[in-house]
Structure 1
Amino acid sequence: MSSNPPTANEIAVPFEMNAEPANRRPSRLPADWNISSRPRTGISRLIPRSMRMPSVKYQRGDKVMGRWPGSSLYYEVKVQGFDITSQLYTVIYKDGTELELKEPDIKNFSGFQTRSRSRSRSRSPGRRRSRSRSPGRTTRRSSSRTAAVAAAAVTESLLSSNKDTKLEDRLGALQQTMAAENNSNNKHEENDMANKVNEKAEAEMEAESERNQGRYNLRRRKDDGGAKAAAIVAEQQEKEVIKEAAPPAATLATPLDFGGKIGAYLWLLFLPSWVLFLVFQVNLEDPSLLNFPPPLPPLEAFWDVKALGFVILWILFQALLYVLPVGKLSEGMPLRSGERLKYRTNGFFAIMVSAVAVAVAVHQGVDLTYIHSHFLQLAVASFMISVLLSVYLYARSRYAAPEQLAQGGNSGNVVYDFFKGHELNPRIKDFDLKFFCEMRPGLIGWCLINFALALAEMKLHHLDAPSYSMILVNVFQLLYVVDGLWNEEAILTTMDLMHDGFGFMLAFGDLVWVPFTYTLQAYYLVSHPNSLSLPVVGAIVTLKLLGFYIFRKSNSEKNAFRRDPSDPQLSHLKTIPTATGKSLLVSGWWGVVRHPNYLGDLMMALAWSLPCGFSHLLPWYYMIYFIILLVHRDSRDMRDCRRKYGSAWDEYCRTVRYRIIPRVY
């Protein structure tokens, strides 16, 4: 859970020590056509690759040796299946980790064992000494050819294991030494030099293999000082292999969320309808569910040009504050390409300036109760803007590079990708559209609407000050938003920013769902006041503060660990290492439940609803919705993390038994 309102989908645990792997750019030629250097005759030249039946070398259930990405190490794996489109094999390692490998990275047991024995004989110290140091030993093969073959073998082995430029430089120096020595007339000296170079090259290979073994070893490291050292080494080597280990974005098979392709159609219809239902229902004199369905107003009541202009002006004002060179320029998490985007994190500055602007407007006589009387029209205008923005986002994503697409919104189905978000980080130059909408117009607009509803309550009931219930709702939700904007940098590590594409789901959630459903408690209190005694006020405040402490403390631990797991200040935290070289945090609040930030969020949601009393179910909508949302998020976490981390995730679940509420769930 991030510090922003729960419209976004994020995975709270596990916390990854390394960045997401990079992405290789595919060929510029269309992937659907088979372009070969060998001339073809007849109609076969015009048959697209997708229509030909590819040969599948390994079948489901075969046990083979699979190369661990980014290293030269092979482990026993079991073939789970073959994707014809991506030409990748899905394999599972002994610890349960699933990965997708290309055919060259998979070898049969027989061929692998033969090469292993051959390699072990060549590395035998005794044999190397006998061949290189025997003065009477001769060979029929010329030393230059022997050296060339050795150099070629060493070059191929070293470059395939790692693209490290320092190794290439050292290898080049060895080859130059060999070429210079080959000019000697003494064949014994040539042969001796070639074998010496072979030994040096093999030593380089062994050292490189040991480094990779330490980093990609599937065995768990002990929880001692060596684990910390390994974490530091892994972080330092992250940039060296991040591009080597990354599969293309299009080849990653990501399960479809929210009911898949059919669910996308239903959500596109349900979400706007549900917002309208809430607005109609809360306007009733008796908003009981027994009065369902609420009467529909005339069509002209849905539209107001002034309301559209107000929404556009508000968004432009927030965009202006966003682009001002004020505040910290933060660096996001590494993308699949290895790039780190820059973000202007000045949200707290934006809400402070907005508060001053609203105060000046009220002082100048601007009647903000217009927001209460035109709530429906403002919601419809925001919905129209979110739809237009979503259409623009999908249209521009059709021209985005493959590595810029979101894995979850790259299904190939237009409606699903439009709903989920096709492009990961759409930007207009340095203006990040997703980051802006996530934290600015809707979130700060939520506070503006709450303030306007407090003024409407005073005006309607002729009060000199808002009621205790209205004050609690306003202050609690304002604290939530201000805290999120103060810690705005934390959102850069959430699932919304790192994995989810920007499409209708997030655009509608940011611009419509947050400002026009999260304000439901304040809207309800305008027409249905609820008096509170001072002891009840104190109890609700205590609940809110406790929930806020758990929420903020757990999020701080999570974000600090994600950004720098080797930080000495985090040395006391306990972790469970995984086969992928990343770790799961099982200390602090994350050792109590798997989602302590969700627990804090639920406690704060309860504090928001209690001031509205128990006369109607409607003001408890947020609490009910939030429970459903968090249970859904938890199920996504369990599915994705078990597939990604295998047996390490099972151990994590045994260590931290409860998901959200200790001893309950």
Structure 2
Amino acid sequence: MPVRRFADGEVVMGRWPGSVLYYEVQVASYNDLTHLYTVKYKDGTELELKESDLRSVSSFKHRKSNSSSSSPSRRSGSRSRSRSPGRSAKGKRRSSSQSRESKEEKKKTVRETNLTFLKLSENNTSRYNGEPDSTERNDTSYKPLQVVEGLPLLNGRRLKYRINGFYAFVLTVAAVGTSLYFEIELHYLYDHFLQFAVSAATFSVLLSIYLYARSLKAPKEELSPGGNSGNFVYDFFIGRELNPRIGNFDLKYFCELRPGLIGWVIINLAMLLAEMKVQDRNMPSLSMILVNSFQLLYVVDALWNEDAILTTMDITHDGFGFMLAFGDLVWVPFIYSLQAFYLVSHPSEISWPTASAIIILNIFGYYIFRGANSQKNAFRRNPKDPKLAHLKCIPTAAGKSLLITGWWGLVRHPNYLGDLIMALAWSLPCGFNHILPYFYVLYFTCLLIHRENRDGHQCKKKYGLAWERYCQRVPYRIFPYIY
């Protein structure tokens, strides 16, 4: 068992993650399992650091002392004292000249240090809300077949990801269109909906077993922070390995969007065709068209902005186990499509005025959702953009900032608010005769509230007093004046 180097309560110098800057910290505890130190910064921020990121205070002071003893001013001063009185004036002038040169060198060093710190601060000024995993993402816009780097892992490595989800969706649409052209009955999915769901669930269990088995051989630095508890049931559920890969193929990243979201759209389309067949209609109902259109917009938006998922807790914090495997492969495509499934056998006729009101509600939710996400992305790419000059923020210990105006000054998670408004708009076309179409919005509300609590806990630990000040300025979490 490795011997820890620093004791609890010891004051040391800790490197801020993702930078070369060291700050004075106090060791709070040590995890024998992960071999990470929990340290506390002067502003109350708590982080987990590797031993290689910690240095003794004396090592910094020692270098500073050596630098001072060999400075030009000290050397020139020593020579001036040893000179004869007749040469003292010349020696003093030379000493004064060298002293001025020394001061200029010091000023230059300070300027260079400040410039370096400024650049690091600008690169790190990406903190925009209560989502701790979004603080250090790549400042990149969407490009065709783009390859981007993820956030730094515990060992400092940054994995590469190919951003091509939208093109996978386009390819799938082409394949589905071809099958419809050759009159392949897509509503077969509706007739065997339960069988497909059970098959997907079985596959997710088998995938989870494989993931757990391979994680037993994975290096400790590749395990997730919370999935290495030693409890088999918990670790199997939450996932032990953070980024399981077969070669360059990232299993978790692939499953996060592609099979679930694209499968969701295909199932919705199958329900639309099934409604026309079951109800003997020449065209789908207005309710079915609204549900398909709203959810298609949501999926296309997610795939077009695929790189945003690299900063979510699913990618950066949670391991890939049964929770994510079942959620990605079963829960998303088969539960999120319940509104369309319900409308096949429970027709709901709505008037155009009612449909217009629902459309306006969905547009309003999407406006909040996309506006909030676009604002945070713009702030992340260039905090000094003149278009963002009206935004105010609270600085944190590492130069990152917490927005307290704009969308992120309204509530801590305006994107969650927009998400929930859209979810309600998806359910309303189904009427009020059954709770099944509203299961998604009820479940999603519980999910986002739970996730918000997790985010808040992580941010409190990571940003300390700055997070407390942020919460005072932005007291509402998701719903203005309610929660």
Please indicate, yes or no, whether the TM-score normalized by the shorter chain is above 0.5.
yes
- For residues 574-598 of structure 1, what are the alpha-carbon distances to aligned partners after superposition, in whole Å with 9 as ceiling and x for unaligned? 3221013322223321121111111
Aligned to 2:159: 341
Counterpart of 2:183 in 1: which secondary structure?
coil
Aligned to 2:248: 430
Counterpart of 1:451 in 2: which secondary structure?
helix
Of 204, 218, 235, 1:386 maps to: 204
- For residues 171-217 of structure 1, what are the alpha-carbon distances to aligned partners after superposition, in whole Å with 9 as ceiling and x for unaligned? xxxxxxxxxxxxxxxxxxxxx9xxx9xx98x998997688668878x
Gaps of 5+ in 1: 1-31, 35-48, 138-191, 217-229, 239-325
- C-alpha separation in 2, matches of 1:213 and 1:418: 47
Confirm or deny that 1:598 pairs with 2:416: yes
Conserved? CA contact 2:243–2:319, under 8 Å:
yes
For the structure 1 residues 594 and 413, does the alpha-carbon distance in structure 2 shift closer, same or farther, using more than 3 Å as the test?
Answer: same
- C-alpha separation in 2, matches of 1:599 and 1:445: 25
Aligned to 1:234: 121
Of 566, 575, 598, 2:393 maps to: 575
Q: CA deviation at 1:396?
A: 2.6
- Correspondence 1:19-38 to 2 at 5 A: 32=1
Q: CA deviation at 1:429?
A: 2.6
Conserved? CA contact 2:47–2:461, under 8 Å:
no
Aligned to 1:9: none
Q: CA deviation at 1:566?
A: 5.3
Aligned to 2:15: 69
For the structure 1 residues 501 and 562, does the alpha-carbon distance in structure 2 shift closer, same or farther, using more than 3 Å as the test?
Answer: farther
How many residues matched? 449
Confirm or deny that 1:511 pairs with 2:458: no
Aligned to 1:332: 149
Conserved? CA contact 1:327–1:344, under 8 Å:
no
For the structure 1 residues 394 and 116, does the alpha-carbon distance in structure 2 shift closer, same or farther, using more than 3 Å as the test?
Answer: closer
Q: CA deviation at 1:612?
A: 1.3
Give the AA of the match of 1:427. Answer: R
- C-alpha separation in 1, matches of 2:413 and 2:253: 24
For the structure 1 residues 384 and 114, does the alpha-carbon distance in structure 2 shift closer, same or farther, using more than 3 Å as the test?
Answer: closer
Of 131, 134, 139, 2:81 maps to: 134
Look at both structures and tell me which one has the larger radius of gyration over its CA atoms. 1
Give the AA of the match of 2:212. Answer: Y
- Correspondence 1:90-169 to 2 at 5 A: 90-100=38-48, 102=51, 105=55, 122=69, 128-135=75-82
Q: CA deviation at 1:357?
A: 2.1
Of 472, 482, 487, 2:305 maps to: 487
- The structure with higher relative contact order (CA 8 Å, sep 6+) is 1
- C-alpha separation in 2, matches of 1:628 and 1:510: 18
- C-alpha separation in 1, matches of 2:31 and 2:238: 23
- C-alpha separation in 2, matches of 1:237 and 1:471: 44
Aligned to 1:444: 262
- Correspondence 1:469-488 to 2 at 5 A: 469-488=287-306
Conserved? CA contact 1:72–1:212, under 8 Å:
no
Q: CA deviation at 1:100?
A: 4.6
Aligned to 2:135: none
For the structure 1 residues 568 and 396, does the alpha-carbon distance in structure 2 shift closer, same or farther, using more than 3 Å as the test?
Answer: farther
TM-score by length of 2: 0.81
- Correspondence 1:61-460 to 2 at 5 A: 62=9, 65-69=11-15, 75=24, 79-85=27-33, 89-100=37-48, 102=51, 105=55, 122=69, 128-135=75-82, 230=118, 232-234=119-121, 327-336=144-153, 337-460=155-278
Conserved? CA contact 1:580–1:645, under 8 Å:
no
- Structure 1 runs (4+) deviating above 6 angstroms are 111-121, 123-126, 202-216
- C-alpha separation in 1, matches of 2:283 and 2:113: 67
Give the AA of the match of 1:67. Answer: M
Aligned to 1:170: none
- For residues 127-186 of structure 1, what are the alpha-carbon distances to aligned partners after superposition, in whole Å with 9 as ceiling and x for unaligned? 65432433369xxxxxxxxxxxxxxxxxxxxxxxxxxxxxxxxxxxxxxxxxxxxxxxxx
For the structure 1 residues 520 and 214, does the alpha-carbon distance in structure 2 shift closer, same or farther, using more than 3 Å as the test?
Answer: same
Gaps of 5+ in 2: 85-93, 126-142
Aligned to 2:453: 635
Q: CA deviation at 1:654?
A: 1.7
Give the AA of the match of 1:389. Answer: L
- C-alpha separation in 2, matches of 1:491 and 1:113: 39
Alignment RMSD: 3.8
Give the AA of the match of 2:81. Answer: S
- For residues 212-242 of structure 1, what are the alpha-carbon distances to aligned partners after superposition, in whole Å with 9 as ceiling and x for unaligned? 68878xxxxxxxxxxxxx2x3435799xxxx
Q: CA deviation at 1:511?
A: 0.7
Q: CA deviation at 1:450?
A: 1.0
Of 446, 461, 471, 2:279 maps to: 461
- C-alpha separation in 2, matches of 1:593 and 1:338: 33
Confirm or deny that 1:622 pairs with 2:445: no
Counterpart of 1:614 in 2: which secondary structure?
coil
- C-alpha separation in 1, matches of 2:362 and 2:407: 18
- C-alpha separation in 1, matches of 2:243 and 2:250: 7
Percent identical among aligned pairs is 54
For the structure 1 residues 563 and 495, does the alpha-carbon distance in structure 2 shift closer, same or farther, using more than 3 Å as the test?
Answer: farther
- C-alpha separation in 1, matches of 2:79 and 2:165: 69
Confirm or deny that 1:549 pairs with 2:436: no
TM-score by length of 1: 0.60
Confirm or deny that 1:520 pairs with 2:321: no
Counterpart of 2:11 in 1: which secondary structure?
strand
Aligned to 2:133: none
Q: CA deviation at 1:328?
A: 2.0
Conserved? CA contact 1:458–1:465, under 8 Å:
yes
- C-alpha separation in 1, matches of 2:201 and 2:22: 53
Conserved? CA contact 1:73–1:212, under 8 Å:
no
Q: CA deviation at 1:572?
A: 4.5
- For residues 300-341 of structure 1, what are the alpha-carbon distances to aligned partners after superposition, in whole Å with 9 as ceiling and x for unaligned? xxxxxxxxxxxxxxxxxxxxxxxxxx9322313332244443
Aligned to 2:90: none
Counterpart of 2:190 in 1: which secondary structure?
helix
- C-alpha separation in 1, matches of 2:333 and 2:286: 22
- For residues 448-493 of structure 1, what are the alpha-carbon distances to aligned partners after superposition, in whole Å with 9 as ceiling and x for unaligned? 1111111212211111111121111111111111121222232233
Q: CA deviation at 1:92?
A: 2.5
For the structure 1 residues 575 and 662, does the alpha-carbon distance in structure 2 shift closer, same or farther, using more than 3 Å as the test?
Answer: same
